[in-house]
Structure 1
Amino acid sequence: MILKSYLNIKDWQLLERYNSDWMLQYFCDKVLAEDQQVRDMTILTMIRAYLEKHCEWKILKEVLTSLWKPDVNNTLVLLMDANCYESYIRFPTDVKLLWEFGDWLFEDQLFRICSVLGIRRQRSKYREQKIEQMSCFRKRKNSFKKTLKRRKALVYLLGKGIA
Structure 2
Amino acid sequence: MFLKAYTGYSDRKLMERLSTDYSFQFFCGVYFKPTDQIPGFKLISDIRSELSSKMDITSLQSILAHSWGKYLSDTHVMLCDATAYESYIRYPTEVKLLWECCEWLYKQMKKICKMAGLPMPRNRYATQKSKYLSYQKSRKKTFKNKRKRIKSLLYLLDKLAGQLDTIVVDLPAYIQLPTRYYKRRQTIAKIYEQQSYQYQTGEHPANKIVSIDKDYIRPIVRGKEVKRVEFGAKVNMIQAGGINFIEHLNFDAFHEGIRLQSSINLHKQLFGYCTHISADGIYANNANRSYCKKEGIFTSFVRKGKPAKDEKQRKEIRKLLSKERATRTEGSFGTEKNHYNLHKIKARTSKTEMLWIFFGIHTANAVRMIEKITADKVPKQAA
Relative to the length of structure 2, the TM-score reads 0.24
Shift of 1:43: 1.4
Please tell me the residue identity of whatever aligns with 1:32: F
Q: Distance in 1 between matches of 2:66 and 2:23?
A: 27
1:85 to 79, 84, 88: 88
2:134 to 119, 141, 161: 141
Shift of 1:53: 0.2
Q: Secondary structure at the match of 2:19?
A: helix
1:158 aligns with none
1:23 aligns with 23
Q: Distance in 2 between matches of 1:28 and 1:83?
A: 29
Does the aligned pair in 2 maintain the 1:19–1:37 contact within 8 Å?
no
Q: Distance in 1 between matches of 2:15 and 2:86?
A: 17
**1:69-92 deviations in Å (ceiling 9; x for gaps):** 234568778xxxx894336x4345
1:6 maps to 2:9: no
1:36 aligns with 36
Please tell me the residue identity of whatever aligns with 1:48: R
- Larger Rg belongs to: 1
Q: Distance in 2 between matches of 1:11 and 1:61?
A: 26
Within-5 A mapping of 1:1-163: 1-72=1-72, 84-86=87-89, 89-91=91-93, 96=95, 139=131, 140-142=133-135, 150=145
1:106 aligns with none
Please tell me the residue identity of whatever aligns with 2:58: K
Shift of 1:7: 2.7
Relative to the length of structure 1, the TM-score reads 0.50
Provide the alpha-carbon RMSD of the alignment. 4.3
Does the aligned pair in 2 maintain the 1:11–1:44 contact within 8 Å?
yes
Does the aligned pair in 2 maintain the 1:4–1:14 contact within 8 Å?
yes
Shift of 1:32: 1.8
Q: Distance in 1 between matches of 2:4 and 2:74?
A: 23
More strand by share: 2
Q: Distance in 1 between matches of 2:46 and 2:143?
A: 48
Q: Distance in 2 between matches of 1:49 and 1:83?
A: 20
Q: Distance in 2 between matches of 1:83 and 1:148?
A: 28
**1:109-162 deviations in Å (ceiling 9; x for gaps):** xxxxxxxxxxxxxxxxxxxxxxxxxx6565220479x967546879xxxxxx66
Q: Distance in 1 between matches of 2:74 and 2:47?
A: 28
Shift of 1:3: 1.2
- Number of residues of Structure 1 aligned to a counterpart in Structure 2: 115
- State the identity as a percent: 23
| Structure 2: runs of 5 or more not aligned | 99-126, 151-199, 202-383
The 3 A distance-change label for structure 1 pair 72 and 34 is farther
Q: Distance in 1 between matches of 2:13 and 2:146?
A: 48
Shift of 1:55: 1.8
* Structure showing greater relative contact order (alpha-carbon pairs closer than 8 Å, 6 or more residues apart): 2
